């Protein structure tokens, strides 16, 4: 059975799983679903058509599911879906989708959102993502699995951050960031591969060496980007991580991607 503090307000229609704990002075809206074992600590507001998976930990003053911060929003039905085992720290804000973005904001499993970070409308966030303090994700942002965004960084509307990428603190991401890439700078530039993340996640030495060679071919050789991508695909026909990077670049069409400041940028 859920445990609800006497000062909390849980509106009729809210669905609470087994073992859910609602702390003091929380407000849970009528369309909210909280998965089994979740804990909403205190002074948390969860509104809208919001579904949160099992074993969530939500800390004070988080605001989850209120209407999107989009001036084009006219009250259309939309939703926010959050996976299992997510940590949502103090002051985090998360908005549902809009009609212009498909109507859904989706967050995967085992993600951590540290204090005062923001997830804008229509964002699509993968699994095992870490969003550090004061990170701002604008609307329609896509974040791949295992990405890490450092404190105070910001991602512009419609930008993509690939899986296993790392964004340095106080970095403004204006262009797409390739999978496994490391971006930093006042306006983000590509500073190599996320080697620390690759080693922590037990990618083999051979895989990392292949990726470093591919990185040099893509960003440090002659010709157009399309020509370099094609040549890299031929050089590494059976290397899946390299092809994830190449597929990411192709999928962006004519969109700009984060690139090194210098062709010999450390990888």
Alpha helices (H) along the chain: 195-200, 205-220, 225-235, 240-251
Q: Domain map of the chain by residue range?
A: 3-140, 199-251
Contacts of 222 (CB under 8 A, 6+ apart): none
pLDDT in tens, 196-225: 999 999 999 999 999 999 999 999 989 999
**Quick one: average pLDDT of 171-186?**
97
Q: Which CATH number fits domain 3-140: 2.160.10.10, 3.40.50.1220, 3.40.50.300, 3.40.640.10?
A: 2.160.10.10
Identify the burial level of 75 via C-beta atoms within 10 angstroms of its C-beta, where 0-12 means exposed, 13-18 middle and 19 or more buried. Answer: exposed
- The answer, yes or no, to whether residue 153 has pLDDT greater than 70, is yes
* Candidate from 79-83, 111-115, 263-267 with smallest mean pLDDT: 263-267
pTM score? 0.95
pLDDT in tens, 102-139: 999 999 999 999 999 999 999 999 999 999 999 999 99
262: confidence class by pLDDT, cuts 50, 70, 90: confident
The half-sphere exposure of 65 on its side-chain side, counting CA atoms within 13 A, is: 24
Q: How many residues does the chain have?
A: 267
Residue 24 CA to residue 21 CA, distance in Å, equals: 10
- The answer, yes or no, to whether residue 237 has pLDDT greater than 60, is yes
Q: Hey, how many other C-beta atoms are within 10 angstroms of the C-beta on 223? A: 11
Question: Which residues are tagged catalytic?
Answer: 121-122, 139
Residue 68 CA to residue 110 CA, distance in Å, equals: 24
Strands 124-125 and 142-143: parallel
The CATH number assigned to the domain with range 199-251 reads 1.20.1180.10
Measured between alpha carbons, how far is residue 184 from residues 165, 173, 208, 210 in Å?
11, 8, 20, 23
């Amino acid at each position: 059975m859920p445990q609800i503090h006497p000062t909390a307000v849980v509106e009729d229609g809210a669905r609470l799983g087994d073992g859910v704990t609602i702390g003091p002075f929380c407000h849970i809206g009528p369309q909210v679903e909280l998965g089994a074992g979740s804990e909403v600590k205190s002074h948390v507001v969860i509104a809208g058509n919001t579904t949160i998976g099992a074993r969530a930990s939500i800390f004070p003053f988080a605001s989850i599911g209120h209407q999107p911060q989009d001036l084009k929003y006219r009250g259309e039905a939309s939703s926010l879906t959050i996976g299992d085992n997510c940590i949502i720290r103090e002051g985090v804000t998360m908005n549902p989708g809009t009609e212009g973005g498909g109507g859904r904001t989706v967050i995967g499993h085992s993600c951590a959102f540290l204090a005062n970070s923001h997830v804008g409308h229509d964002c699509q966030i993968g699994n095992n993502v870490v969003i550090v303090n004061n990170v701002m994700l604008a609307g329609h942002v896509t974040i791949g699995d295992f990405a890490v965004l450092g404190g105070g960084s910001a991602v512009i509307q419609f930008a993509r951050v690939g899986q296993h990428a790392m964004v340095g603190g106080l970095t403004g991401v204006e262009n797409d960031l390739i999978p496994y890439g490391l971006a930093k700078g006042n306006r983000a530039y590509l500073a190599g591969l996320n080697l620390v993340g690759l080693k922590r996640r037990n990618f083999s030495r051979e895989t990392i060496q292949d990726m470093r060679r591919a990185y040099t071919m893509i960003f440090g050789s002659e010709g157009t980007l399309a020509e370099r991508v094609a040549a890299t695909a031929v050089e590494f026909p059976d290397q899946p991580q390299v092809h994830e990077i190449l597929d990411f670049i192709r999928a962006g069409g004519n969109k700009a991607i984060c690139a090194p400041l210098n062709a010999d940028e450390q990888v």
